[in-house]
Structure 1
Amino acid sequence: MTSARSIPNVTDERLCWLIVREELQKKTSKLRFFGWVTVLFSSRTRGARLGGDLRREHASDKMSDYAVAVDAAAQTLSTDERKHLRAAGEVPDWFLTDVERRYREFRKQR
């Protein structure tokens, strides 16, 4: 992930986000059924641009929700986990599972 020398001087919550952001970005950019239908049946028209805009907006909304989940999960880190986060630039093994759980709960409430 990140070497100890390149760990930025930011809050633990922000550091967690920087560490997991790329992996979460991959999840949100996957095309689902509607995305593939848009890609396959659109040409270089206004509709194709609109479909792309909708997909990007949806992915952005998901990333915003993931950011809330990462922040909430980071607040539950123990002192030892925070030390490891700062020293190694790694989140605990349970972290992404907890983020996914919080993300699903947050999306369900919307």
Structure 2
Amino acid sequence: MTTNGTVPNLPDERLCWLAVREQLSRKARRRGVLGWLTALFGSRDGWEGNYWAEEAADLRRGTASGKLHAYALAVDTAAEALTAAERAHLRATGEVPAHFLAEVERRVAERRKRR
């Protein structure tokens, strides 16, 4: 987590977020239809192709930001369910339990269903 190997004195929810943020950030930026449209139109020459590539890129960035926000909320709620032993391990190593990311994904999917 940090360069000198120590775990900062932060709330457990924040430590969980710091432990998983890179993985979740990559997932949020994964190319979907908009990403492939950006790649397709971005390679065209001329003003019109660049315009649509920029529009698609803006939409993709907005989508990734929304996904990352949903992940952040799920990390906070999943962190509340950690046991005392898991919290001690988190504080000692800066690592979340193996099941943590699966729980975050489950909570994000549950939230999407409710919308």
CA shift, 1:34, in A, is 3.1
Asked if the contact 1:2–1:88 (Cα under 8 Å) also holds between the matched residues in 2, the reply is no
Match of 1:61 in 2: 66
Gaps of 5+ in 1: none
Residues 1:87 and 2:97 are matched in the alignment: no
Equivalents in 2 of 1:85, 1:38: separation in Å? 39
Match of 2:23 in 1: 23
SS at match of 2:5: helix
Q: Structure 1 length as normaliser, TM-score? A: 0.90
Match of 2:39 in 1: 39
Q: How many residues align?
A: 110
Indicate the structure (1 or 2) with the bigger Cα radius of gyration.
Answer: 2
Equivalents in 1 of 2:22, 2:33: separation in Å? 23
CA shift, 1:50, in A, is 1.4
Question: Aligned letter for 2:96?
Answer: V
**% identical equivalent positions:** 52
User: Stretches of 4+ moved more than 6 A in 1?
Assistant: none
Equivalents in 1 of 2:39, 2:28: separation in Å? 17
CA shift, 1:6, in A, is 2.9
Q: Structure 2 length as normaliser, TM-score? A: 0.86
What do you get for the CA RMSD once the two structures are aligned? 1.8
CA shift, 1:38, in A, is 2.8
SS at match of 2:77: helix
Q: Deviations over 1:67-89 (max 9, x none)?
A: 01100100000111100000011
